[in-house]
Amino acid sequence: MAMSWLSNWLDTLLQFMAQGGHILWWLAGVVVVCWLFVVERVIYLGFYFPKRRQQWVTQWHQRSEHESWYAHAIRDSWLNQAHIELNQNLNLIKWLVSICPMLGLLGTVTGMISVFDVMATLGSSQPKLMASGISLATLPTMAGMVAALAGLFVHARLAKTCRLCELKLEKSLRSPT
């Protein structure tokens, strides 16, 4: 049952990719790389950063003094390090998301070239032949927009989560009163 479902799903995916042309494969590659970076950020935020945060907070509270210039420099250093670690790969994710609609538009152009080529060689009386070119033009555009919308949402959520983690760390590293 599961193998049959997987086989049907794979056949449908391959048929979709064939209808969209080679640009759709490039788009799929960009989307896979983007989601690998998203998963990496989620794993970091869920597992590694809490341990790192606890380490900084513990070290801060073990300090005997919190008001000197040296203590503030250490605190600022940890906050800057946290900022760098939290925001790592976020710009890359944003960049990959921004490429998705561009690849979709490239697919539109190549698909329209295919339609015009069919029209030039066979005339406009062959609608079935023109349909494959139109498919090449519309599927990558749609896929690029869907990938970009999903990526924008995920990027915004990750960026917001990183800002919240930074604020919580900053509050935790305040001088105990």
Question: Residue 145 contacts by C-beta under 8 Å, 6 or more apart in sequence?
Answer: 100, 101, 104
CA 72, CA 1: separation in Å to the nearest integer?
A: 62
Predicted confidence (pLDDT) per residue in 5-30, tens digit: 778 888 887 888 888 788 899 999 99
**Mean of pLDDT values over 44-68:** 94
Least confident of 11-20, 39-48, 149-158: 11-20
Ranges of each domain in the chain: 2-172
**pTM given for the model:** 0.83
In the block, tokens 């032949």 appear at: 129
Cα–Cα–Cα angle for 141, 144, 146, nearest 5°? 110
Q: Tokens for 19?
A: 């209808």
For residue 60, pLDDT over 70 is answered with yes
Cα-Cα-Cα-Cα dihedral sign, residues 88, 150, 153, 6: negative
**Mean of pLDDT values over 135-156:** 91
More confident call, 109 vs 121: 109
More confident call, 82 vs 66: 82
